[in-house]
């Protein structure tokens, strides 16, 4: 969107990007440009000239263009505050174990500190605003949490993705802070949202993620889904403790002023409600199934 904004301000009629014809980024660039500036021409040299990584590396070396890759380590790496993605080279073979040299944000779990560490994350309206009792803006919180979780080997992901084109691709990710935040956020949602909200939100999350993955950020459906998510987050306020330990991150404590957990009702040691009433609820839950079986006999 910023690319289109600048292009319009500069009164140009074309924009260029360096995406290949195999990846997802071309969908994100082209779709966004098409939705924000239908008249803008798109120039994609790598895709249009059908270039490959080896040719690009050779060209750069022949013309003394400094690049951070070579033939032996031709990895494609993208990095931002949220994490790193690594692909290409020997990683394209799914049988090959990722070499330790590709990781920067995380230690190998076997090299993590002997003792686990607990972090407390405070949320307000679904947004993380506090780390270990200290108020922090989003960027500062993520940076510090990246260091803490990464030190304990948390956040390594080795997966096979289905790209927008239908190609299967082996991808390696490092996202220590993201891993912990998502665990903590889910743990808090489980405490404050209703069962029906949680079930429906799972389907919304999958649909929303797929839209964004394919570059459909400016599609009206994404905005519609945002409205639902924003509503669910109004009560996602509280504190969550997560223990990071040799590559794992586990929620170990939850509290919220909007908690739907009622100890008096669920305790095995107290009479929160008359347990005999449960039998009637179970009977009617199975009603349709009983009728189905009866008609089939």
Q: Are 237 and 123 in contact (CB under 8 A)?
A: yes
State yes or no: pLDDT of 69 exceeds 60: yes
Percent of the chain at pLDDT > 70 equals 96
User: In terms of pLDDT, which residue wins out, 94 or 286?
Assistant: 94
Average pLDDT over residues 149-176: 96
What are 201-248's pLDDT values in tens digits? 999 999 999 999 999 999 999 999 999 999 999 999 999 999 999 999
pLDDT recorded at residue 272: 61
8 A C-beta contact, residue 150 and residue 176: yes
Identify the pLDDT of residue 271: 60
What's the average model confidence in pLDDT over 48-74? 88
* Least confident piece of the model among 174-183, 252-261, 263-272: 263-272
Q: Give me the mean pLDDT over the 87-106 stretch.
A: 95
Q: What is the reported pLDDT for 73? A: 77
Pairing outcome for strands 41-43 and 14-16: parallel
Taking the CB of residue 149, how many other CB atoms lie within 10 A of it? Answer: 26
Joined together, the tokens standing for residue 291 give 């009728």
Higher pLDDT, 164 or 242: 242
Res. 277: pLDDT tops 80:
no
CA 243-197-291 angle, to 5 degrees, is 120
User: What pLDDT does 269 receive?
Assistant: 59
Confidence of residue 296 (pLDDT cuts 50, 70, 90): confident
The pLDDT score that the predictor gives to residue 101 is: 94
Give mean pLDDT, residues 53-82.
89
* Longest Cα–Cα distance in the chain: 82
Mean pLDDT, the chain, whole residue set: 92
Q: Which tops the pLDDT comparison, 224 or 34? A: 224
Residue 210 CA, distance from chain mean position: 11
What phi-psi label fits residue 155: left (phi over 0), alpha (psi between -120 and 50 degrees) or beta? Answer: left
Please tell me the distance from the alpha carbon of residue 286 to that of residue 211, in angstroms, as a whole number: 38
- The tens digit of pLDDT for each residue in 120-134 reads 999 999 999 999 999
The span from the CA of 171 to the CA of 87, in Å, is 5
Contact 174, 188 (CB under 8 A): no
Residue 164 contacts residue 19 (beta carbons within 8 Å): no
Q: Quick one: what percent of the chain has pLDDT higher than 90?
A: 76
Calpha distance 102→87 (Å, rounded) = 10
Query: In this structure, are residues 68 and 38 in contact, taking their beta carbons and an 8 Å threshold?
Result: no
| Distances, alpha carbon 118 to alpha carbons 3, 106, 241, 289, in Å | 41, 17, 6, 46
Q: Contact 195/202 with Cβ under 8 angstroms?
A: no
Residues in CB range of 222: below 8 A, 6 or more apart: 208, 211, 212, 216
Give the pLDDT band (50/70/90) at residue 189. Answer: very high
Single pTM value for the model: 0.86
Between CA 225 and CA 242 the distance in angstroms is: 28
pLDDT over threshold 70, residue 267: no
Contact present, 215 and 24 (Cβ < 8 Å): yes
Q: What is the pLDDT of residue 53?
A: 84
**Structure token digits, residue 174:** 């490092």
Q: Give domain limits for the chain.
A: 1-72
Residue range 1-72 forms a domain whose CATH class is: alpha beta
- Residue 268 pLDDT > 70: no
């Amino acid at each position: 969107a910023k690319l289109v904004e600048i292009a319009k301000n500069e009164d140009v009629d074309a924009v260029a990007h360096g995406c290949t014809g195999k990846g997802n980024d071309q969908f994100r660039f082209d779709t966004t440009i098409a939705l924000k500036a239908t008249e803008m021409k798109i120039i994609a040299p790598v895709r249009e000239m059908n270039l490959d990584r080896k040719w690009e590396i050779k060209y750069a070396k022949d013309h003394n263009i400094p690049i951070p890759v070579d033939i032996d380590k031709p990895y494609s790496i993208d990095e931002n505050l949220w994490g790193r993605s690594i692909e290409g080279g020997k990683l394209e073979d799914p049988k090959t174990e990722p070499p330790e040299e590709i990781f920067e944000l995380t230690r190998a779990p076997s090299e993590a500190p002997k003792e686990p560490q607990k972090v407390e994350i405070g949320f307000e309206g679904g947004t993380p605003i506090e780390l270990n009792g200290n108020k922090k803006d989003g960027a500062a919180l993520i940076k510090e949490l990246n260091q803490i979780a990464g030190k304990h080997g948390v956040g390594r992901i080795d997966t096979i993705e289905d790209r927008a084109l239908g190609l299967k691709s082996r991808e390696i990710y490092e996202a220590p802070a993201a891993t912990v935040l998502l665990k903590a956020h889910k743990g808090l949602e489980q405490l404050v949202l209703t069962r029906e909200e949680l079930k429906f939100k799972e389907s919304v999350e999958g649909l929303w993620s797929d839209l964004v993955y394919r570059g459909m950020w400016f599609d009206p459906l994404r905005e519609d889904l945002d409205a639902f998510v924003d509503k669910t987050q109004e009560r996602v306020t509280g504190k969550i403790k997560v223990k990071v330990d040799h590559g794992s991150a586990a929620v170990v404590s939850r509290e919220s002023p909007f908690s739907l957990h009622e100890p008096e009702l669920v305790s095995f040691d107290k009479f929160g409600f008359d347990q005999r009433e449960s039998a009637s609820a179970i009977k009617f839950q199975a009603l349709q199934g009983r009728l189905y079986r009866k008609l089939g006999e």
